[in-house]
Structure 1
Amino acid sequence: MEKSYRRILVIKLRFHGDMLLTTPVISTLKRHYPDAKIDVLLYQDTIPILSENPEINALYGLKNKKKKTSEKISNFIQLIKTLRSNKYDIVINMADQWMMAVLVRMLNAPVRISHDYSHRRNAFWRNSFTHHAAQKGTNVVESNLSVLAPLGLDSNVMKTTMSYNPSCWERVRSELAQSCVGEHYVVIQPTARQIFKCWDNDKFSQLIDALHARGLQVVLTSGPSREDLDCINAIAGGCQTPPVTALAGKLTFPELAALIDHADLFIGVDSAPGHIAAAVNTPLICLFGATNHVFWRPWSNNMIQFWAGDYQAMPSRDQLDRGKMYLSVIPAKDVISAAETMLSKNQRAPATGEEL
């Protein structure tokens, strides 16, 4: 296949963590086509997590389903005009939304590769692409990279990337100083988009008390929603000595990456910050409930992962109760012990993500 692509479009329409897990695809393309401009089409809401990645030329945002129909149509039409003008040599599609077949057809790229989705086998979808790649791999990173199989590349970049500007750390360090946080601290992100991915507030409080007893400071982070902030306040209120909550809901994704990058340890549930911790090589502990803990685990070798299924049988995906807190079966003492293990064996390395 052609070896001199100069303009590449990567398409992925998922949540923040999913977007971070596409970065090995982008890095692999950049390794093999160093002069190529690589653009990414993603949901507008998820642009911030890739906003400072130096391997990406441009990010194009698609309005998600929560927007008005008129806004989505206008946005879609404008995107097609803009993307057509870029004259892509190749499109790499990792989105299963049916409208992507329409969009890709209108870009007229000579090479159009898509994952081979089992629910997208009609003639219109299949004929919209020149190549279909089987999804392979036990983890989402490997699965994403499998889309590149038709290119016949001899190697892949097997690392996720989370970039941030030095100014992000300067701002975060200033905020930490105002809260009297020193050099050694642990970041805990207890919140997730859905309750079935969450752990009990009182268990987080017990964990924080144990870390404080060890002489470490704890910084709690979260999204900006009222529900997230209420969770943060409830956990802090249950601690003997409150953790630092001043940054909760106030950080951009690059700033969150800077905070996690300089931490001694990250602890969190199944959500994007855990994948950020893996990308910046911070030791981490992650808690998974009734989700595929192998496929969706953070891409890290310096991690202890808890799965609720090791304590109690988990339901199949079609039987999942999204209002149930499946992680409740994981005892606080086990996570406290894991934190002791990770802190004892890890000497903090210099921060890795701040140089662009």
Structure 2
Amino acid sequence: MIKIEKIRHRYIAGWIINNKYYYRVVNKNLALLFYFLDIFLNSIFKKRIFPKEVRNILIIRLEHIGDVILTTSFFRELKRNYPNAKITVLCRELTKNLFKMIPWIDEVLVLNTPWLSRNDSKGYFNVLKFIINNYKKYDLVFDLHPDPRNLVIARFVGKYTIAYGIKGFRFLIDKEIFWDFGKVEHIVDRYLNILEELGLNIEKKELEIKLDERIISNVKRKLKEEFNLDFNIDTSDKRDNTKIVLIHPISGREEKNISWEEWETIIKNLLAEKDTLIFIGGAKNEKPIIDKNLGHLIDNKRVFNIAGFFNLLEYIHFINLVDFIYSVDTFVVHVASALKKKIKTFYIATNENEWGYYGKN
């Protein structure tokens, strides 16, 4: 008996079949067609044998900043189980520099695919070129975003593919991991479940990134030069009672954002507290949006607009220096988890139990 259920929230709609497979299509009959096609192709495609020796591993991580941070425990535990294997990540240009903070990766390759793109696609020809140049190069390939197009890459560049098969093209997966839609589970745990399904041991689940003291020093220098902040902003060695607050008000998805009126209220309440400095962060293109909506509160004395002021790595190191964070659901939440920073997050379009702060906040 087939159980089919419609799913819809702020930005995802589709059909779940038997609590196991998700098809992001509008029509129910089309979802069933894909489901039966998957069953048929899965029955005729031969599953390959797990390699006797694992020397080269590829992890496909073609999503965005938060997705990479959420995978740091997976990277660490995979490397611990395969210390002698070369671990390569396939990522976007957007996230490439993040791997300077993730020591368990040996090589980083960049492929800006047309899917999961934020106006950075290099086209399908580059995808084909990557497949040809890396045909059957990797002993194991993990796809952590169960996208059928990722699975096509994985099948051709790898000798053995491991992934969740929830969105179709299951026939391309050699080791399919079961995703139970009836169970609410944090995405970090779902990633680590993949390793456990392979019989690998998980010693530590927490997210983790490595900071660079040189970048921290550069962040402090830039703040002093630009805003004349003549105090030790390092919360681990304070010389005064100044409270440093970061506000990150904009997400890459508009439906995750709260209103500017709500942010104004939060800032005014914070300003009522003595010795509180407020930094409003974001990307460079978000700076004028912040100025437009909160400019009347920004005085460069207690409230500062630092959107685009730092590069990505500098911004993450700055996050490590603050006392408290207010943010919409974006990568800042996961950075805070990895750095064990206190944060108040506003969840509008996502499930906090699946995508929220990982660990004790």
Under TM normalisation by the shorter chain, which class is it?
0.7 to 0.9
Shift of 1:300: 3.1
- Equivalent position to 1:56, from 105, 109, 129: 105
Q: Which has the larger radius of gyration?
A: 2
The equivalent of 2:221 in structure 1 is: 174
2:319 — aligned with what?
260
Is 1:88 aligned to 2:138, yes or no?
yes
Q: Does 1:27 align with 2:71?
A: no
Distance of aligned partners of 1:189 and 1:108 in 2 relative to their CA distance in 1, 3 Å threshold: closer
Is contact 1:25–1:157 with CA below 8 Å preserved after alignment? Answer: no
Query: Residues of 2 paired with 1:97 and 1:290: CA distance?
Result: 21
- Taking a change above 3 Å as real, the CA distance of residues 177 and 233 of structure 1, as seen in their structure-2 partners, is farther
Following TM superposition, the consecutive aligned residue runs of length 4 or more in structure 1 with deviations greater than 4 angstroms are 1-4, 66-70, 239-244
Is it true that 1:97 corresponds to 2:147 in the alignment?
Answer: yes
Cα deviation for residue 189 of structure 1 reads: 0.8
**1:1-356 equivalence runs, <5 A:** 5-65=54-114, 71-84=122-135, 87-109=137-159, 111-117=160-166, 119-120=167-168, 125-135=169-179, 138-178=185-225, 179-181=227-229, 182=231, 183=233, 184=242, 185-212=244-271, 213-225=273-285, 227-238=286-297, 243-245=302-304, 247-302=306-361
1:244 to partner: Cα distance: 4.3
Counterparts in 2 of 1:54 and 1:238: CA distance versus 1, 3 Å = same
Partner of 2:25: none
**Residues 24 and 157 in structure 1, CA contact (< 8 A), matched pair in contact too:** yes
Deviates further, 214-223 or 93-102: 93-102
Amino acid at match of 1:192: S
**2 CA distance for matches of 1:79 and 1:250?**
34
Give SS of 2:197's match. helix
| Partner AA of 2:172 in structure 1 | S
Please report how far the alpha carbon of residue 57 of structure 1 lies from its aligned counterpart in structure 2 after TM superposition. 1.3
The one-letter code matched in structure 1 to 2:125 is: S
Tell me, which stretches of 5 or more residues in structure 2 are unaligned?
1-49, 234-241
- For residue 97 of structure 1, report the CA deviation from its aligned partner: 2.6
AA partner of residue 261 (structure 2): D
Check the 8 A contact 2:207/2:338 in 1, yes or no: yes
Paired residue secondary structure (2:195):
helix
| Gaps in structure 1 of 5+ consecutive residues | 303-356
Return the offset for 1:295. Answer: 0.8
Give aligned pairs, total. Answer: 294
Deviations 1:222-275 (A, max 9, x none): 1111x4532245224136886443531132221111101111112111111121
Identity %: 23
Change (3 A) 1:243 1:70: closer
Give the superposed CA RMSD: 2.7
Amino acid at match of 1:180: N
Q: Measure how far apart 1:74 and its partner are.
A: 3.0
Change (3 A) 1:46 1:114: same
Structure 1 residues 141 and 67: alpha-carbon distance in aligned structure 2, compared to 1, 3 A threshold: closer
AA aligned opposite 2:337: A
Q: 2: distance between equivalents of 1:194 and 1:242?
A: 31
Deviations 1:304-337 (A, max 9, x none): xxxxxxxxxxxxxxxxxxxxxxxxxxxxxxxxxx
Contact 1:112/1:131, CA 8 A, preserved across alignment: yes
Distance between the aligned counterparts of 1:249 and 1:240, measured in 2?
17
* TM-score normalised over the length of structure 2: 0.73
8 A contact 1:94–1:147 mirrored in 2 = no
TM-superposed CA distance for 1:166, in Å, is: 2.4
**Is the CA contact (8 Å cut-off) linking 1:220 and 1:232 kept in structure 2?**
no
For 1:196, what is the secondary structure of its paired residue? helix
Q: Distance in 1 between matches of 2:118 and 2:253?
A: 21
Q: Return the letter of the residue paired with 1:154.
A: N
